[in-house]
Amino acid sequence: MPSIALMIIAASAPLTVVAGGVTTSFAVTGSLGVPLGFLLIALILALFAVGYTAMSRHITNAGAFYAYVAQGLGRPIGVGGSLVALVAYNTMQVGIYGLFGFQLSMFLEAKLGFVSPWWMWVFLCIVAVGVLGVNRVDLSAKVLGTLVALEFVAVIIFDIVSLSVAPEGVSMAAVNPATLFGPELGLILVFGVAAFMGFESGAIYGEEAKDPKRTVPRATYLAVAVIGVFYALSAWAFSVGIGPSQIVQASQEAGPDLMFIFMTEHTSVVVADIMTLLFITSLFAALQAFHNAVARYLYALGREGVMPSGFSRTSASGAPWAGSVAQTVIAAIVVAGFALAGDAFGAAESMFGELSFLYPVLTMFTWLTNTGAAGLVLLMGLTAFAVVGYFRKHPHNLSVWTTVIAPFVSGILLLVMFFMILGNFQLMLDQEVADATTFVLPGLIVAALIIGIVWGLALRRRKPAIYAQIGHGTEPGAYGTELIDVVPED
């Protein structure tokens, strides 16, 4: 359970969220309600987890959401959900590479005078993530566990320093409910939900857990509780350290550097440098967690014939090495594309000025991670309704709260949040004027869902034996033709 919980928390990248996510939320929303926003999102996700974890006790599948949606809403929608998951997890993972390469390159240049292209460090990181990815999850958990522990220590130190500095006193202004329930509520939720991405990934490791029916639910609840409370407390401490009257303006002016500027001023350069390094390792931890998620989705889809069977190959330790290698190749290709485009962008520096060096952050990181967040929110919304559908067919003597009320309400809230993300996508990309990316990027998510549904319907007509396996990869007889009899149910 601790290994899975650490993998979930690593995906949310605690130090990255506090340094980048909190300041971005304050800057864009212009509201002090960010700390309570984290708690509200945590409550929504905890509500979602009621049905989600109940379903995980009955379905153990590395495809997680894919299997849940397939068994709860029908196989075609399940295939659509699987493609949404692949697009979302891949874009989140590859997008984070942009920020990782930029931060490491800038840090080495500032401290050692070593000038290097951002993409060089990304390709080295891709190799490291790939090596860990082809091994059993325990190895990744040991590496990530150390990094996550150090992240928590760093943020706790920052919180303590913030509360001790408190230029306006230990003010409770940022935790006043009036700051949350205003016109900025929608924006607070839109920008805050990305901080929780990865919390849902516990079920992905179910097949590698010793006791998945107990481990996955416990790890999920532990992760959402720790993440929600920790982020809320840290965001409040951030407002106290800078001052409630100054936090919005300071966030708008300094962005993610605000934390490190603050620590330099009130501790020492050494402490700030250590935190910067931990910020970089925080990104590495998130990269590893999302890489593992993609590998396991590809494994589940390959095993059930929705994708080429080669993806179902595993190593001696049980890790899905073929899916891991595939994700590594995808990352390398996309990064190479952005690197080449970045060179062209840099060549036009006279046109873009000082923005050219921020290319991997302004494009690769911003575009892809926001796209991934939108996809995962949609996927969770579909899964919530799938819980209702599944327990309607298989009651299992559970309460109405667990099987209907909690998942239905959370599903409505998540879908509302998804449409809010779509409505604010231009703002999330920090665009003054909408352009093609404003529509193409979220369009990838919608297109993946539609293509998946069409592919599922095509499998039902052309390959009924494979269609019968969709979402049932670990069940007895899943590979037998006897399951063709269940096709008419969909």
Dihedral in degrees, nearest 10, Cα atoms 124, 129, 132, 136: -170
Q: What's the rounded Cα separation, in Å, for the pair 452 and 447? A: 8
Q: How many CA atoms lie within 13 A of 41 on its CB side?
A: 31
Check if the beta carbon of residue 285 is closer than 8 Å to that of residue 144.
Answer: yes
Q: What's the rounded Cα separation, in Å, for the pair 193 and 17? A: 11
User: Cα angle vertex 328, ends 194, 437, to 5°?
Assistant: 45
Please name the residues in contact with 346: beta carbons below 8 A apart, sequence gap of 6 or more: 356, 357, 359
Sequential pLDDT tens for the chain (490 residues): 777 776 667 667 788 888 888 888 888 888 899 999 999 999 998 899 888 888 877 887 666 788 899 999 999 999 999 999 999 999 999 999 998 999 899 899 988 998 899 999 999 999 999 988 877 655 566 777 777 788 888 899 999 999 999 999 999 998 888 888 877 788 888 878 877 776 666 666 666 666 666 777 778 788 888 888 889 999 999 999 999 999 999 998 888 889 999 999 999 899 989 989 988 988 888 898 889 889 888 988 888 888 888 888 887 767 788 889 999 999 999 999 999 887 655 544 544 455 566 788 888 888 998 899 899 899 999 999 999 999 998 888 889 999 999 999 999 999 999 998 898 888 888 788 888 989 999 999 999 999 999 999 999 999 998 898 888 865 544 443 333 334 444 4
Q: What pLDDT does residue 351 have?
A: 42
Q: How many domains does the chain have?
A: 1
**What's the sign of the alpha-carbon dihedral 269, 274, 280, 286?**
negative
Quote the crossing angle between the two packed helices 247-254 and 258-266, to the nearest 10°. Answer: 110
Name the residue range of residue 68's domain. 2-489
Closest listed residue to residue 130, CA positions, set 322, 318, 364 = 322
Find the length of the chain.
490
Looking at this protein, which amino acid is placed at residue 441?
L
Longest dimension (CA), the chain: 71
For residue 135, give the 3-state DSSP assignment: coil
Q: What pLDDT does residue 489 have?
A: 46
Q: What pLDDT does residue 7 have?
A: 66
Check if the beta carbon of residue 406 is closer than 8 Å to that of residue 439.
Answer: no
Rounded alpha-carbon distances, angstroms, from residue 274 to 21, 195, 197: 19, 22, 25
CATH of the domain at 466: 1.20.1740.10
Q: What pLDDT does residue 490 have?
A: 46
Q: What pLDDT does residue 205 have?
A: 63
